[in-house]
Amino acid sequence: MAENKNGIIIGGFCFENEEEAAQAKKEAEGIRYLREKINMDTPEAVLGIYNKMIQQKLFETAVGYAYLKELQEYLRSIPFIDGEAVLPIPVSHPVLEESIQKKRRTERKTAPEPQMQVKNFDFRKRYQAALGICLVLFLCVVGMFTVSMFSNSPTILNYETKLIDRYEQWERELEEREAALAEREKEIEQD
């Protein structure tokens, strides 16, 4: 780790932040290990390792991104590897993101809050209108029950008894007419 007036130099990159420099150093050591272990003669294996590193978001500093870019260019130069199989490199910069979030928070604190305009509603009129509608609906329900109680037409509550009563009345009327008819026949036979 070499130090410069402007910051700490790792892998040809100058870091002003010590935490980032430590992360870059760790990534540089990991890259050295990978260079020793990866067999560049098997592009399929390199593609698998590259995609796995992308999915795991293994690198966060410029040192790691430079290595990923190197692998990406190598894989894209191989003609039998599909270009869509080589994942793009997702870039995130935690220190920059944190500073942007701090800036947004301070802007929100210093920005004047928008004035909310509250309309004055006359809730008394709305209450009276709703009460009137409820009263009309209540009277409609009471009227429907009154009509169903005093009507002669069968309802779902009493249709069976009304039908039985009606059939019994028809049967009585029929028996009376048969009896009257039988009496007339007897009178006609006697004459």
* Residues in Cβ contact with 68 at an 8 Å cutoff, skipping those fewer than 6 apart: 50, 53, 54, 59, 89
How far apart are the C-alpha atoms of 40 and 46, rounded to whole Å? Answer: 7
| Residue 27 · residue 66 · CB < 8 Å | no
- Residue 143 to residue 135: CA distance in whole angstroms: 12
The segments of the chain whose pLDDT lies below 50 read: none
List Cα–Cα distances, 127 to 121, 132, 157, in angstroms.
11, 9, 37
Q: State pLDDT tens for residues 92-128.
A: 766 666 777 777 777 777 766 556 666 667 788 889 9
pLDDT of 128 reads 93
Task: Let me know if 34 is exposed, middle or buried by CB neighbors in 10 A (0-12, 13-18, 19+).
Answer: middle
pLDDT at residue number 76: 86
